[in-house]
Amino acid sequence: MVSYIAGVQDKFYNGEVDRNLKKIRSIVSKTKELQPEAELILFPELAATGYFLSEELYDVAENQGGRIEGEMSQLAREFGVILAYGYVEQGEDDKIYNSLKVINEAGKTIGNYRKIHLTPLEKGYFTPGNEVVLIESSMGKLGLMICWDLAFPELARELACKGAHVVLAPSAWEQPYNKPYNRFGMARAIDNTLFLVTVNHVGKSGELEFFGESGIYGPDGERIAGADNDEQIIFALLDQEIRKEWRKDFFSMLDERRVDVYKI
């Protein structure tokens, strides 16, 4: 299986859902113009609502089946592309979650992931998720992660053991931590012999300054596509047959794990 994937690195507006949705539509149109064969477009963490940390998060939080989902569903159908985007999810008992939603090319929601590993600042507002999410799509099995999840090898390994072909990891990673961001992406890909796509914000949000440097990593950990510090769309061709060959010929770690000795 061979498929094109696109990652969006851009600036989104805090609390301005309408403005963000308008921008997302423009970006989707541009992406399909640049690469008509793109099958999936990944947007950054909380792209639909903007990444910020204040009580105003409750004002933009959305239940399942809400307006953002409806507009993104229409957009996915219109352009015939899988869309993956971050948003603030309104959950049970007035709890809110930092979530990633995936809508397929037919406009159907096929996945919703609540960020498991929250940063210390995020813990003041969001409730952590407690479910590992792997979804089936037209381009294979997709494992879902968000930002700081990249720092935890256990989650990526769990997704790999469940059969993930590609891991999506939208982010909002700030200065001065660009080196760990890049290294975590590379490590999670090579650890598990899979493709990993992570996209970051650019610009400022309050005291946070985002540096971009989005990347698409191959099963050998190589950065096969990447951005610098500006607004960009990155593309890569993901060849699952190569991934299978590498896993058989050299990167055979998953098959050689000693689960009789350790459990991770």
Catalytic residues: 45, 115, 147
Peptide bond preceding 176 in cis form (omega within 30 of 0): yes
User: Which residues does 153 contact at the CB level (< 8 Å), separation at least 6?
Assistant: 187, 188, 191, 264
82-90/38-42 β-pairing: parallel
What are 92-99's contacts with CB under 8 Å, separation 24+? 94/58, 95/127, 96/57, 96/58, 96/61, 96/125, 96/126, 96/127, 97/126, 97/127, 97/129, 98/45, 98/46, 98/122, 98/126, 98/146, 99/129, 99/146
CA distance 27 to 152: 31
